[in-house]
């Protein structure tokens, strides 16, 4: 009982999430069906929303703050090809020092806003040797190595109002949405740089060693990054569908004679180069997602 009180009082309880959702619902007329999270350097996605109502994270009650370059820190409501959406222009990462419950709290708030589908985007290093910088990888599965050891967003008392104690993750990434994204990519002529694969989350903020990259690849990962998986788990826990993609912004360094060095500037530069194609991809995908219930916005 005491333990439950401690966890709830940190600001991640159902009531805390509901209070933030109520505040947002009172400020914005849009009732979003789709939530989009912008990866590093991909904040331009949010700028494509029409009829925007935007909030700086610092002005939203009980919302974390963005601290990473390439993550502006704004929550943008609006429409994308007529579909009501909310977009996180900036996400939170474990290495910023936030507890995993805090970086995933926006997912619970989205569920309480009535969001049905979450689209997560990220920048990632390519481990699969067939991948090239600039490829877009549709995430079909993930490896949550830290999660095996207990650094998992659902650790703590379970609130059944969000979801079940032991949620299934074999269907974490919605297969219909993956197929729809492939169709959208083909229609846009993106076939040459559209892939699918397994994303592995690491804690960061240092990039991986050569031995770590080789290990992750052997374990079945095609791309490595420092986000997304925690958000996926929490979004699934509260019943939302998830589609996720990685932009391969750099090749993971796998050879000892390589002169390459992973760096955040290259990550942001690759995101900039692919920005308009990513925006088209996501907006076309959003326009073709069938809502499961009729919106009143
Ligand atoms: O996953 P997103 O937020 O796109 O950011 C990726 O880019 C940063 C490293 O350059 C890390 O934060 C990594 O996770
Ligand atoms: O190579 C990487 N490793 C981890 N995170 C990343 N985010 C972009 N590129 C990378």
Q: What is the pLDDT of residues 8-24, one digit of tens each?
A: 447 889 999 999 999 99
| 125 domain residue, yes or no | yes
> Known catalytic residue: 122?
no
Tell how far the Cα of 179 is from the centroid of ligand 1, in angstroms: 25
Q: Can you tell me whether residue 32 is helix, strand or coil? A: coil
| 122 domain residue, yes or no | yes
- Phi and psi at 83, nearest 5°, equal -90, 130
Where residue 185 sits, what CATH number does that domain have? Answer: 3.40.50.1580
- Phi and psi at 184, nearest 5°, equal -60, -45
Q: Give residues (CB < 6 A) around ligand 1.
A: 39-40, 68, 91, 93, 122-123, 204, 225-227, 264, 267
Domain span at residue 212? 2-288
293 pLDDT band, cuts 50/70/90, is low
| 42 domain residue, yes or no | yes
Structure-token pair, residue 56:
């700086």
Within a 10 A sphere around the Cβ of 57, how many other Cβ atoms? 19
Residue nearest to ligand 2 atom 2, measured at CA: 125
| 297 domain residue, yes or no | no
Query: Which residues are within 8 A (CB) of 131 and not within 5 positions of it... i.e. 6 or more apart?
Result: 137, 195, 197, 222, 223, 248, 251
The whole-angstrom separation of Cα 70 and Cα 93 is 13
User: Rounded to two decimals, what is the model's pTM?
Assistant: 0.95
| 145 domain residue, yes or no | yes
> Known catalytic residue: 9?
no
* Nearest C-alpha neighbor of 187 from the set 280, 271, 279, 274: 280
Q: How far is CA 105 from CA 2, 66, 87, 122, in A?
A: 22, 14, 14, 18
Distance of CA 203 to the CA centre of its chain: 15
| 293 domain residue, yes or no | no
Residue nearest to ligand 2 atom 1, measured at CA: 125
DSSP state of 209: P
9 assigned to a ligand binding site: no
Structure confidence by residue, pLDDT tens digits, 232-276: 999 999 999 999 999 999 999 999 999 999 999 999 999 999 999
* Nearest C-alpha neighbor of 107 from the set 122, 92, 123: 92
274 assigned to a ligand binding site: no
With 50 as the cut, is the pLDDT of residue 1 above it? no
| 103 domain residue, yes or no | yes
| 200 domain residue, yes or no | yes
Tell how far the Cα of 61 is from the centroid of ligand 2, in angstroms: 31
Structural domain count of the chain: 1
Tell how far the Cα of 215 is from the centroid of ligand 1, in angstroms: 20
């Amino acid at each position: 009982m005491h333990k439950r009180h401690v966890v709830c009082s940190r600001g991640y309880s159902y009531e805390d999430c509901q209070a933030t959702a109520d505040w947002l619902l009172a400020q914005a007329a849009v009732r979003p069906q789709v939530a989009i999270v912008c990866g590093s350097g991909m904040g331009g996605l949010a700028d494509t929303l029409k009829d925007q109502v935007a909030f700086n994270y610092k002005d939203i009650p009980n919302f974390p703050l963005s601290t990473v370059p390439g993550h502006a820190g704004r929550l943008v409501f609006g429409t994308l090809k007529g579909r009501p959406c909310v977009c996180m222009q900036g996400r939170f990462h474990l290495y910023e020092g936030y507890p995993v419950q805090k970086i995933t709290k926006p997912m619970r708030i989205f569920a309480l806003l009535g969001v049905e589908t979450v689209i997560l985007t990220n920048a990632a290093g390519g481990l699969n040797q067939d991948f090239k910088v600039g490829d877009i990888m549709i995430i079909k599965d993930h490896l949550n190595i830290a999660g095996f050891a207990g650094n998992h967003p659902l650790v703590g008392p379970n609130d059944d109002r969000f979801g079940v104690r032991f949620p299934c993750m074999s269907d974490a990434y919605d297969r219909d949405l993956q197929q729809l994204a492939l169709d959208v990519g083909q229609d846009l002529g993106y076939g040459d740089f559209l892939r699918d694969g397994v994303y592995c989350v690491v804690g960061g903020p240092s990039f991986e060693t050569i031995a770590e990259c080789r290990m992750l690849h052997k374990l079945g990962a095609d791309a490595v990054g420092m986000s997304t998986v925690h958000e996926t788990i929490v979004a699934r826990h509260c019943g939302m569908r998830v589609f996720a993609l990685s932009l391969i912004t750099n090749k993971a360094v796998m050879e000892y004679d390589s002169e390459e060095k992973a760096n955040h500037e290259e990550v942001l530069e690759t995101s900039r180069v692919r920005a308009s194609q990513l925006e088209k991809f996501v907006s076309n995908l959003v326009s073709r997602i069938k809502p499961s219930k009729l919106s009143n916005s």
